[in-house]
Amino acid sequence: MKYFIAVFLLLAFIYSPAYAASEKVSLSADDLKIVDAYIKSKERTSDIVGESVSEFYKARQYMIGDVNGDKVPDVIVMYTLEQGMNWNIYIAVFEKPSMRLLADGHVGGKGDRKANLNKVLSNGLIEVSVMLYAPEDAYCCPSLKGTSYYAVEKNVLIEKSSATDYTERTRPKDPSKQ
């Protein structure tokens, strides 16, 4: 029985939405509706190649922190959109209390890098842990750890710096395109 409970708790943790927090995450039902509606607007039932684009909800992460310097914690949401065998990771930042979208931008994806929210620094930078692909890595499994920092400037999400710059390396080949 103890084994069953331990496995159940582990699976519940793995398959629940991840929450990273600079401050305790406490979003109202109305705030969540706004976030859901925004991400839903990014989904498509079909694109040029006939594949739908939809959110992988279990990968969604929330974080609260003052990104724009107004001393009011903003809502940072990392979400993943899937299309066929591909996926892309985005960060959307919503200003509190209005939940107005401040910025949205691409931060990773298959063949690029995996990402997880860490925290919001006191200067408003969003810290993101990343896993990058080494040339020998399989398409599923990046092995290089790094940290990237993002800022909102003029309603655009901008990568300010990365602890590890692998832009000169060769990315692995997508096996589905060979």
Q: Tens of pLDDT along 4-46?
A: 444 333 333 333 333 344 455 678 999 999 999 999 999 876 6
Has residue 5 been placed in a domain?
no
As a whole number, the mean pLDDT across the chain is: 78
Residue 61 lies in a domain: yes
**What is the tally of structural domains in the chain?**
1
- For 150-175, what is each residue's pLDDT tens digit? 999 999 999 987 755 444 344 444 44
Domain presence at residue 8: no
Per-residue pLDDT tens digits for 96-138: 999 999 999 999 888 788 888 999 998 999 999 988 888 888 8
In a domain, 158, yes or no: yes
Higher-confidence position of 93 and 6: 93
Does a structural domain hold residue 38?
A: yes
Does some domain include residue 114?
yes
Radius of gyration (Cα) for the chain, nearest Å? 17
Please give the residue range of the domain that contains residue 109: 17-177
Give per-residue burial for 5-31: e unless 16+ CB within 10 Å, then b. Answer: eeeeeeeeeeeeeeebbbeeeebeeeb
CA–CA separation, 41 vs 168, rounded Å? 34
Q: Kindly state the average pLDDT of the residues 62-76.
A: 93
Residue 9 inside a domain? The answer is no
For 144, residues 6+ apart whose C-beta sits below 8 A from its C-beta are 131, 132, 133, 134, 137, 164, 166
According to the model, what pLDDT value does residue 164 have? 53
Q: How far from the centroid of its chain's Cα atoms is residue 72's Cα?
A: 22
Residue 157 lies in a domain: yes
